[in-house]
Chains A and B, each alone.
Chain A
Amino acid sequence: MVAPETQGQKVYSRPESLTVTPTHYCPGCTHGVAHRLVAEVIDEMKLRERTIGVASVGCSVFAYNYFDFDFVQSPHGRAPAMATGVKRTLPDKIVFTYQGDGDLASIGMGEIVHAAARGENITVIFVNNTNYGMTGGQMAPTTLPGQKTSTSVNGRDVETQGFPIRASELIATLDGASYVVRRSLNDPKNIRQAKKALRTAFEVQQRGLGFSFVELLSICPTNWGMTPTQSIQWLEEKMMPFYQLGDYKISQAVAGLKF
């Protein structure tokens, strides 16, 4: 039997686009996974020196500490507007926002819808963990019916607290959006799919094909009050049936993309 040739061969390393800073994310949190995927894609596409990230307000507010490229940090919900300002001033640069569900689907609903409707040539990475992580697990627009949070202690009551918003489906209705997909960070297969989607999204932007949006189903073990493993299970059992993975909008030009 021949031993696999791993000696001297790099199988795993830090992407150039990530700094050597330990993150502040809780153990098991999928924000870290999402960061890594973004960094890998930026590396692979050799965009590091041309990319400007827009951090939002939420647990990822310090994203700029972890990515080794230029970053700005926006007010709560306003990242798509800020990204618009950057992109319209620097049309040749790659601009993306990284937003949580409270940020994007609640306080920032106006900004995201209109950036998409304008077909703003930016990429939006939307981390859906069904709650406001940073402020301690309050109900978000994405909180599932019956889900317990610190502001829906008996479970979200749709009679008084309304229904969750499916952001990808909503954004996909807009003619301005070119690429809108939902992926999940629950297992290696889906993580690979997520990375492919991120790659496509940045390719869309690089080729000037318009607004790209990748929703990533994520976990928040800390505020869900679960272990990371239990959280993954909860994501699979509760979130995935409600937030179905899939391609919600692939414009003709994007469908023809080859890379």
Chain B
Amino acid sequence: MARQLLKGNEAVAEAAVRAGLQSYFGYPITPQTELLEYLSHRMPELGRGFVQAESELGAVNMVYGAACTGARTMSSSSSPGVSLMLEGLSYIAGTELPAVLVDVMRGGPGLGNISPSQQDYNQIVHGGGHGDFKMIALAPCSVQESIDLTVLAFDLAEKYRSIAVVLTDGSIGQMMEPAELPEMRPVKFMDTDWAVRGAEGRDRRFLSSIYLDPPQEEQANLRMARRWEEIEANEVRFKEYYLDDADFAVVGFGSAGRIALSAVRQARAEGIKVGLLRPITVNPFPAKVLKEVAKKVQGMLVVEMNAGQMLDDVIRITNNCVPIEFFARLGGVMPFPEEVLVEIHRLAKGPLTTEGDPRSRWLKRASAAR
């Protein structure tokens, strides 16, 4: 396939189609709507299922129904819509079904705005829905990576009977970049012993998230926990930049990681030995490599487009073995590489400390600046 100029959201939609998406259900919300619009003509054109649902509640439960048939199915939304979907996501997880969700994050909380942010890290990674379930979360930083991770999301969802989320944002969703789409894969139902497609020549099956008997529910929870361990062991993905000889490390995912990379390159040009760790799976989090990096460097800078939702994980994982600083822009404001560069300078200059709270130091600086 040749490279072509593609818009993030449409590229994700077409990538899903080519990954064998059999039915799609969505609801309009900016900055995700191009996915819905694109699939509203593309899916029927191919004779596949498409419904513009009455709400995100409707959409996620349509996905739930479609997932029960063992088809590749998906919805997409943005932060407020994803909040509304959490009930359904918990049910899908509790029924141990594969499904894909694309979350094109925007500014918030509440209605917020339609600008890019990373405010959904917690609700996706730490589960806003009820219960002990986890969702695979893949965070792209470019149109090409959005395509690749969408295809991967379907494969992982199917492999682990799990929800896989493509956790992207309004900036990646709206940007146009040259990228290459994958080949069209055939549409086919999963070959499973659980899918519900009519009890033809076999015993009936049913799919439910109910285990009225608590010990059975405990078994189901243990099964999910073991499955997650397997995912943690096999599916961690990340990208390292200039970390081999680094004295300092920046950690950021998605757009924030991409912006941080520009700043890191600039700092390198100035002779500062700084590198970047960009988690691609924010769930499972690349904890092992983060620990290794933390042991090697003198200080770390976490950059996010939220008030430190991933920072909390970085602090927990590194367990005070390295000084950490934090930088963020909130509410739909994107950081500039220059701003991140200033933070790298501050990091390189020191003094660094493992005392105190990186978030409150940042908040003090941010409050003084704005």
A pairs with B: yes
Q: Number of B residues whose C-beta is below 8 Å from A?
A: 39
Q: A70-B204, A72-B207, A75-B87 are in contact. Are A82 and B198 (CB under 8 A)?
A: no
Q: A75-B91, A85-B61 are in contact. Are A70 and B198 (CB under 8 A)?
A: yes
Contact with B along A49-67 (1 / 0, CB 8 A): 1111011000001101001
Q: Out of B23, B55, B208, which one reaches A89, CB within 8 Å?
A: B23
Residue picked from B63, B65, B66, most chain A C-beta under 10 Å? B65
CA distance A50 to B66 in the complex (A): 16
CA distance A64 to B91 in the complex (A): 17
Residue of A nearest to B68 (CB): A72
Q: Does A84 touch B at the CB level, under 8 Å?
A: yes
Residue of A nearest to B71 (CB): A89
CA distance A118 to B69 in the complex (A): 21
Contact residues in A for B204 (Cβ distance below 8 Å): 19, 67-71
Q: Does A37 touch B at the CB level, under 8 Å?
A: no
Q: Does A78 touch B at the CB level, under 8 Å?
A: yes
Q: Does A73 touch B at the CB level, under 8 Å?
A: yes
Q: Does A197 touch B at the CB level, under 8 Å?
A: no
Q: Does B312 touch A at the CB level, under 8 Å?
A: no
Interface range for A: 35 or more
Q: Is the CB of A86 within 8 A of B69?
A: yes
Q: Is the CB of A89 within 8 A of B206?
A: no
CA distance A208 to B201 in the complex (A): 24
Q: A69-B198, A93-B197 are in contact. Are A74 and B66 (CB under 8 A)?
A: no
Distance between B200 CB and nearest chain A CB, rounded to angstroms: 4
Q: Does A171 touch B at the CB level, under 8 Å?
A: no
Contact residues in B for A86 (Cβ distance below 8 Å): 65-66, 68-69, 196
Q: Out of B49, B65, B71, B205, which one reaches A82, CB within 8 Å?
A: B65
Q: Is the CB of A81 within 8 A of B53?
A: yes
Interfacial residues of chain B within 195-219, with CB under 8 A of chain A in the complex:
196-201, 204-210
Q: Out of B51, B61, B200, which one reaches A88, CB within 8 Å?
A: B51
Q: Does B57 touch A at the CB level, under 8 Å?
A: yes
Q: Out of A49, A61, A90, which one reaches B69, CB within 8 Å?
A: A90
Q: Is the CB of A72 within 8 A of B54?
A: no
* Partner-A contacts on B (CB < 8 A): 22-23, 25, 49-51, 53-55, 57-59, 61-69, 71, 73, 87-88, 91, 196-201, 204-210
* Partner-B contacts on A (CB < 8 A): 19, 48-52, 54-55, 61-62, 64, 67-75, 78, 81-90, 93, 110-111, 113-114, 118
